[in-house]
Amino acid sequence: MRKIPLSRVFLNEEVRAAALRALESGSYILGKECEAFESELATYIGTKHAVLCSSWTAGGFLLHKAMGLKPGDEILVPSHTAFPTIEPMIHFGARPVFIDIDETYCLDVDLLEASITPRTVGILPVHIYGHPANLDRVLEIGRKRNLWVIEDCAQAHGARFKDERVGAAGVAGMFSFFPSKNLTVMGDGGCITTNDSALAEDVRMLRNHGRKSKYVHDMVGYNLRFNEIQAAIGRVELRNLDRLNEHRRRVAAHYTERVSRVVQTPPEKQWASSVYHMYVIRTERRDELAKHLQTKGISIGIHYPLANHQQPAITKLYPDLPTLPRTEQVVNEILSLPIYGELPMEDVDYVCDAVLEFFHS
């Protein structure tokens, strides 16, 4: 049977050679490859600094620590996102205040101001599935109400809000390099981007036992560092990112052209350039369609079947959570179709044929 994966990493001889070069260098942690990768990432995103760390979750933890997040603080965040978006803040005793979503699956900016309390310290918009949140409105509200803005860019490497790449608008952006991401390092990894030099320096020290030099520790830190082999891989992946993202956009356009008459396809705002980390459709017959596609050898995903305000770990902590009607509806209807930077167009047509066959049978 034909097999079509949901995603696949970009791997070529240059990637293999880069990993071998780092392996043979004799330097394995926070060396020249990491320094070069950080510089190249900062240039690509458009920030002064990029700070590598061991994962997105680690980066969130380091950033919240450096910014002085404390128990009782509140952060406005969509419930429809991966659980790690909210995990670090909870470890500091801060509370996620969940916001419902708009038609792009990003947080509904029209609901933000009504959710602000005297305990609110920041807003954490998520550029989910590779589509930017409405940053103009988020930043406007942040400035007006004296709230910081951190962008969750884990699924949005290279995405643009208007003419600017995401990750440079707020006080910081946070990226993941998990294997399924548009930009990967073949394992766990993360990065914080920022124009705040003092914040970048604090995060650099915190990730490496709180030190600037080998035996002098200016603060009590952690071991959440990055390694040379993955940095060397990431540098090659970054050079290919825009090309692979453009192919994702072609795949998404073809999906939309062929299946929009039978399912709800993802919208793209005029001010956005999505990089389609996921191509997410909606249908009330989601579970039936998923089973049909799987019988055809097509891998599918549901991102995410349970919203964060419905997670057992969260309902135990906060028994007074709000109802989020749009979020609670979409988690029962969304389905992710295969998409990656080198997905053959004949495979895209095979998936489309299978979707149409289901609805026309």
- Residue-averaged pLDDT of the chain: 98
Q: What is the pLDDT of residues 229-252, one digit of tens each?
A: 999 999 999 999 999 999 999 999
* Confidence at 287, pLDDT banded by 50, 70, 90: very high
Structure-token match 């299946």, residue found: 259
DSSP track, 89-136 = HHHTT-EEEEE-B-TTSSB-GGGSGGG--TTEEEE--B-GGGPPP-HH
Q: What is the pLDDT of residues 88-136, one digit of tens each?
A: 999 999 999 999 999 999 999 999 999 999 999 999 999 999 999 999 9
CATH 3.90.1150.10 in the chain, residue ranges = 241-360
The residues with which 150 forms a beta bridge, in sequence order, are 172
Out of 3.50.50.60, 3.40.50.300, 3.40.640.10, 3.20.190.10, select the CATH number for domain 13-235: 3.40.640.10
Name the CATH topology of 241-360: Aspartate Aminotransferase, domain 1 (3.90.1150)
Alpha-carbon distance of 98 to 15, in angstroms, equals: 40
- Say which amino acid occupies 198: A
Indicate the SS3 state at residue 231.
helix
Q: What's the pLDDT score for residue 361?
A: 80
Helix (H) / strand (E) element for 43: namely: helix 32-45
Q: What is the pLDDT of residues 132-158, one digit of tens each?
A: 999 999 999 999 999 999 999 999 999
Contact 338, 347 (CB under 8 A): yes
CATH 3.40.640.10 in the chain, residue ranges = 13-235
* Confidence at 1, pLDDT banded by 50, 70, 90: confident
* Confidence at 10, pLDDT banded by 50, 70, 90: very high
What would the mean pLDDT of 247-268 be, rounded to a whole number? Answer: 98
Q: What's the pLDDT score for residue 67?
A: 98
Contact 109, 130 (CB under 8 A): no
